[in-house]
Structure 1
Amino acid sequence: MHPRTALCAASTLALIAGAAAAQTTVTIATVNNGDMIRMQGLADNFTEQHPDIELEWVTLEENVLRQRVTQDVATQGGQFDVMTIGTYEVPIWGEQGWLTPLEGMPEGWNPEDFLPAIASGLTVDGTLYAAPFYGESSMVMYRTDLMEEAGLEMPEAPTWDFIGEAAAAMTDKDNEIYGICLRGKPGWGENMAFLTAMSNSFGARWFDENWQPQFDTDAWAQTLDTYLELVTNYGPPGAASNGFNENLALFQQGKCGMWIDATVAASFVTNPDESQVADSVGFALAPDNGLGKRGNWLWAWSLAIPSGTDAEDAAKEFIAWATGQAYTELVAENEGWANVPPGTRTSLYENEEYLSAAPFAERTLESINAADPQNPTVDPVPYTGVQFVAIPEFQGLGTAVGQVMSAALAGQTTAEEALAQAQTIATREMERAGYID
C-alpha cells in the first residue's frame, strides 16, 4: 500500500472511531402501551435529526416497568437515561431529588401549552420534573349497536345502576359477548386504579383525616360488591388476569359491551385497522352514585430524567422531541389525527383537524378537567390523588391490596374477607410507616 493511501485509510478510521466515540446512547424505559410502541416506530425521525444520539429501548409490561424504574432510581443504578413514569411518582421522586428538573430544554418546546390539570401533577414548587407523553382520565366506552339492540340509551353521565342494567342486557355468553369488561389484574396501577376511582363515587376513602384505614366501612363494601357483581355475572372468564391491554384486545374483538377504562384507549377502539367494532363505539362519562363524585381518574404517562445520568442533554433533546408539538404532527401525518397522543396540550383541543377526526376528544377533555386530585373523595382526606394515594408507601400497599381484591374476583376469597384483609394490611403498613400509632 502506498504510504499516502495508508495515511488516508488511517485518517478515515480515526474519523469513524471519533464519530462513534462522540455518539451518546440514551436508554429509555417505557411501557408496552400502543402509543409508546408507536413512538418507537417513529423514532427514526429523531435519530435522523440527531445522528449523534443513539436510542436504546427497554419496553416492559406496566407492573414490571414500575418495579424496574423504582428500583433503579431509588438506588441510583443508572440503567436508564429516560424513564416512563406516572403522575403518582413524579411529585414524590422530584421532591426527593431523584429526578432532573426539566429546565434549559430545547427552544420551541413550549411547556406553557401543557394542560394545567396534567402539568400540575408533574410539578414540584413550580418546577416541571417530567413531560407528559399522553394524559388521560377514564370514561365509559360502549358498543352503540349492542346498546340499541338492548333497547337502552347511554346517558352522557350514567349512574352505576344504569351500568348494571346495561351490562345485564348486553351480555350474550353463548356468543362470547360480555356486558362489561373491567380491570382485574392486581397492581396499584391496574385493578386498584379502577377500584379506587370507583370507590370515590361510592363515598369510600383509603384513609380518614387521621390516616386510619377505611376498608371496614359500608362504602367500601358497596364498592366491592358492585364491582364483583358486575364482573362475575357479566364479565369475561379469567377477568382476574385482565388489565388494560387484555381488555383493550377484548373490546377490539367485539367481546365487550362496555369497558370503563383510560380515555387514551379511545383512539385504539375506533381505529378500523385495529378494531372490529370501530364504527359502533360511543363514549360517556365515568359513572357516579349520586354523591357528587364520578368514578374517573387522572393520569399522565410522562418522560423523566433520573438524577445523575451522564446523558442529560441528549435525554432532554429526546424528551423535547417526543412530547413536542412537532411529534404530534408527525403522528398525524403517518397515522391520522385521531391517533395522536391525547390529553397533554391545550393547542390540540383547539385544533379543528383533531376535533373533527376524534369523536372522543370532547369527552376526554371533559373527563380530565372533572378530576380533582386535591379533593378526590366525598369526605375529607389527608392525601391527594384520585386513583392513588400520593405517599411513598402506596406503591407497595396498593399492590398488596390489589392482590387481595383480585383473589376475591377469582373466587378465592369472599368480598367480606378481602376487605378485612385489606384493612389489616393497610393498618399494619401505616403503623410501620409512623402515620398512626
Structure 2
Amino acid sequence: MIGMRTILAATTASILALPAAAQQTVVWWDFLSGGDGVRMKALIDGFNEEHEDIQIDATTLEWGVPFYTKVRTSAAVGEGPDVMTYHLSRVPLALEEGVLSPITDADLEVAGLTKDDFFASSIEAATGPDGELYAIPFDIHSLVLYYNKSFLEGTDYLDADGNLTGIESLEDFEAALQAAAENGSQTPLSYQTGGDGGVWRVFYTLLSQQGGEFIVDGEVLPGDNTDKAVRALEIMTNWNEQGWVPDQAEYEASVALFTGGQSAFQLNGVWEVPTMTDMADAGTLGFEWGAVQVPTLLDESATWADSHAFAIPAQDEEMDPEKREAVMTVIGWMEENSIGWASAGHIPAYVATTESDEYQSMEPNATYASLADTASFDPADPIAGVASPVYDQALNVLVPALAGYLEPADAIEQMKAELSGMMNR
C-alpha cells in the first residue's frame, strides 16, 4: 500500500515538473516626449511593477511623419509593435493604408471595457466607415484659452474670485484683448502664428463655431462652408492687423510670450498645462494664471480636438490569442489608471476617470473638461489629421495670409484647389 508521504512527494514532484506560465512581452511604440513622455513612462513602469506575467517593452519614436512612416513600413514587412499610440485624426489614412487591426467587442471585454465607457465623440473618431473600432481613445486633447490675470485686473473680464468672465462673443473677446493692451500687454493674444499646428487649430475652431465643415462627402468646403472659412481667416488676419498677436511666431516663441508675461491670453493645447503648473510651483512664472474652454465666440460651442489612442497594427498572421489578451490587458490597465495621464493636462477619454473625485479636484483641468462634449475632431478623411496635407496647407497658405501676403478669400480658394486636387487623384 502506498503511503500518504509517498503520494504527497509524487504530487509535489509533478507540480514542480510543470512548465511555468510563459511571461508575455508586449512590444510598445509611442511618440511621446517632454511631459507626456515622463507621465507615460511612469504609467508603463507602474504596469510592469504590478504584472509579473506581462511586461511592456517600450520604445519612443519621433512624433509626426517619422512615426507614421515607421508604422506603415513596419506593417508592410511584419515587424511592427504589438500596440502603439495613435492620433485618432490619423485613423482615416491608416485605414486607407491597411495598417490597423479592428478591435472587437470580445477584445474590449478582455480589457474590462465597453464603448460606452468613453466620450461618444472620441469613439466616433476611432470608428471606421465599416462600423469597426480601430483604436481605443486614451484622452481628448483640445485647444484651450490660457489667461494672465494681472492684465485683466480692474476690467470687466475678471470676477471677484479671479476667474475669467464676460467673454460670450467675438466682440467681447476682442474688447478683452484691447483692454489687456491698455493694461500693458505687449502681445495680448499669443498662439503659433508661424506654424501649421497652431494656425490650423485656431482656424478650425472658428470654422466649427460657425457650424462649418471642412470636408463633406469628399468635397472641400462645399457650399457656404467656403464663406465660413473666409470669415474664420478674416477674424485671424484682423487680430494680426490690430497688433494683438505675434507675427509668424514659431511654437516655442508663442509659448514664451505667454510664460514670459507679455501676453494676456494664449490659445494653445491642454498639453501646456504642466508647463504652467511646474513654473508656478517653482516660482518662475511671475503671475497668476488660469485656463478655460475656448469661449463661444461665434454661433455655437466648438473647439478643435484630437485624441491620443491605443491601436494594434495589422499583421499578415493573426496575433497569438495569449499575446492579444496581454495587449488588451495593458490597454485596460492604462484606461483605469488614466488619472496619471490627466496630470499632463489631457482630458481622459475614459469617462469614469473624468467623473472621479480626484479628477474633479484637478485645476484647471476640471474647469475645461466640458469641452469633451463639444470637441470638433479633424475631418475624417485621409488628407486630414496630424502631419497631413491639410496641415501643410495651413503652413503654406494660411500663414502667408496672416502675414498679409494673400487676401483671405484668395487663400481659401487656393487651399480648396490644392486639397481638392489631392482628393481627386
Do these two structures clear the TM 0.5 threshold for a shared fold by scoring above it?
Answer: yes
Is the partner of 2:348 in helix, strand or coil?
Answer: coil
Is the partner of 1:297 in helix, strand or coil?
Answer: strand
Name the CA distance, whole Å, in 1 between partners of 2:79 and 2:256. Answer: 35
| Amino acid paired to 2:188 | G
Name the CA distance, whole Å, in 2 between partners of 1:91 and 1:248. Answer: 31
Name the CA distance, whole Å, in 1 between partners of 2:328 and 2:262. Answer: 42
Structure 2 residue corresponding to 1:320, chosen from 310, 313, 332: 332
Deviation at 1:300, TM superposition (A): 1.3
Is the partner of 1:391 in helix, strand or coil?
Answer: coil
Q: Which moved more, 1:269-278 or 1:84-93?
A: 269-278
Computing the radius of gyration from Cα coordinates, the structure with the larger value is 2
Name the CA distance, whole Å, in 2 between partners of 1:182 and 1:250. Answer: 9
Does 2:33 correspond to 1:39? no
| Amino acid paired to 2:189 | I
Deviation at 1:354, TM superposition (A): 2.5
TM-score by length of 2: 0.74
Residue identity (%): 21
What does 1:396-411 correspond to in 2, within 5 Å?
396-403=388-395, 404-410=397-403
Structure 2 residue corresponding to 1:307, chosen from 305, 314, 317: 314
Name the CA distance, whole Å, in 2 between partners of 1:136 and 1:388. Answer: 12
Deviation readout 1:285-335 (Å, 9 max, x if unpaired): 4244443x23412321112111118664554343333x332353xx39xxx
Structure 1 residue corresponding to 2:305, chosen from 298, 306, 318: 298
CA distance 1:109–1:262, shift in 2 (3 Å):
farther
Structure 1 residue corresponding to 2:235, chosen from 206, 226, 230: 226
Deviation at 1:150, TM superposition (A): 4.9
Deviation readout 1:77-119 (Å, 9 max, x if unpaired): 6344333222223366458753223443585643443233323
Name the CA distance, whole Å, in 1 between partners of 2:410 and 2:70. Answer: 32
CA distance 1:76–1:195, shift in 2 (3 Å):
farther
Is the partner of 2:79 in helix, strand or coil?
Answer: coil
Q: Structure 2: state its 5+ residue gaps.
A: 1-18, 159-163
1:113 alignment counterpart: 117
The runs of at least 4 aligned residues of structure 1 exceeding 6 Å deviation read: none
| Amino acid paired to 1:397 | P
Deviation readout 1:60-93 (Å, 9 max, x if unpaired): 2345445544x44774663443332222233664
| Amino acid paired to 2:417 | T
Name the CA distance, whole Å, in 2 between partners of 1:120 and 1:77. Answer: 28
1:135 alignment counterpart: 140
| Amino acid paired to 1:393 | I
Does 2:168 correspond to 1:167? no
2:294 alignment counterpart: 286
Does 2:420 correspond to 1:421? no
What does 1:61-72 correspond to in 2, within 5 Å?
61-62=63-64, 64-69=66-71, 71-72=72-73
Does 2:382 correspond to 1:392? yes
Contact 1:397 1:426 in 2 (8 A): yes
Name the CA distance, whole Å, in 2 between partners of 1:387 and 1:185. Answer: 22
Name the CA distance, whole Å, in 1 between partners of 2:416 and 2:111. Answer: 49
1:363 alignment counterpart: 368
2:281 alignment counterpart: 273
Contact 1:397 1:425 in 2 (8 A): no
Contact 1:159 1:287 in 2 (8 A): yes
CA distance 1:115–1:426, shift in 2 (3 Å):
closer
Name the CA distance, whole Å, in 1 between partners of 2:217 and 2:47. Answer: 48
Contact 1:252 1:274 in 2 (8 A): no
Deviation at 1:54, TM superposition (A): 4.8
1:122 alignment counterpart: 126
2:25 alignment counterpart: 24
CA distance 1:109–1:195, shift in 2 (3 Å):
same
Name the CA distance, whole Å, in 1 between partners of 2:304 and 2:63. Answer: 21
Q: Which moved more, 1:30-39 or 1:199-208?
A: 199-208
TM-score by length of 1: 0.72
CA distance 1:33–1:316, shift in 2 (3 Å):
farther
Deviation readout 1:239-275 (Å, 9 max, x if unpaired): 2x32xx6645543443431122334544543453378
Aligned-CA RMSD value: 3.9
Structure 1 residue corresponding to 2:203, chosen from 180, 195, 203: 195
2:424 alignment counterpart: 431
1:58 alignment counterpart: 60
Contact 1:82 1:305 in 2 (8 A): yes
CA distance 1:281–1:347, shift in 2 (3 Å):
same
